[in-house]
Amino acid sequence: MLWLKAFHIVFVVTWFAGLFYLPRLFVYHAAALRDGEQAFAARAAVMERRLFVMMTLGGALALAFGIAMVAAAPAYLQLGWLHAKLGLVLLLVVYHFGCARLMRALAAGCVAHSDRWYRLFNELPGLLLIAIVVLATVKPF
């Protein structure tokens, strides 16, 4: 079980690295498109795509090791804190796919949001991370 937990944590860190950085790239990409800096916008699209692949791999492996931990100890499914954590993880998965949608739109040259919106969007995974770590560590219920 400890090996599963260790690898789960490693891949959660990998996933979050991407979740923290990809929306920051969106800020720069959107600004480049607005300012007509096509060379930088094209470079940002490549960077986003590569980062998305790596963070998707990290997220998939984090989920796989998390599922393996639950399979190894199914009694944890009776604990309220785990239900709350899994709900927040589901929100992260939705956020992840939202990033994919935004990435495709920016790659197509569509800037649907302001720089400020992208900056605020960038804060969501940090808030979810705090809540998830508190639930997993403190186990309040």
Q: What is the pLDDT of residues 2-14, one digit of tens each?
A: 999 999 999 999 9
How would residue 42 be classed by pLDDT, with cut points 50, 70 and 90?
A: very high
pLDDT score of 55 more than 90? yes
Q: Report whether 115 contacts 78 (CB < 8 A).
A: no
Write down the pLDDT at residue 131.
Answer: 98
Write down the pLDDT at residue 113.
Answer: 95
Three-state secondary structure readout of the chain: CHHHHHHHHHHHHHHHHHHHHHHHHHHHHHHHHHHCCHHHHHHHHHHHHHHHHHHHHHHHHHHHHHHHHHHHCHHHHHCHHHHHHHHHHHHHHHHHHHHHHHHHHHHCCCCCCCHHHHHHHCCHHHHHHHHHHHHHHHCCC
pLDDT score of 32 more than 90? yes
- Please report where in the chains the tokens 């690295």 appear, as a residue: 17
- Number of domains present in the structure of the chain: 1
Write down the pLDDT at residue 40.
Answer: 97
Write down the pLDDT at residue 66.
Answer: 98
* Measured distance CA(98)–CA(102) in Å, rounded: 6
pTM equals: 0.94
pLDDT score of 58 more than 90? yes
pLDDT digits (tens, 9 = 90+) for 67-126: 999 999 999 999 999 999 999 999 999 999 999 999 999 999 999 999 899 999 999 999
Write down the pLDDT at residue 115.
Answer: 87
Print the domain residue range for 54: 2-138
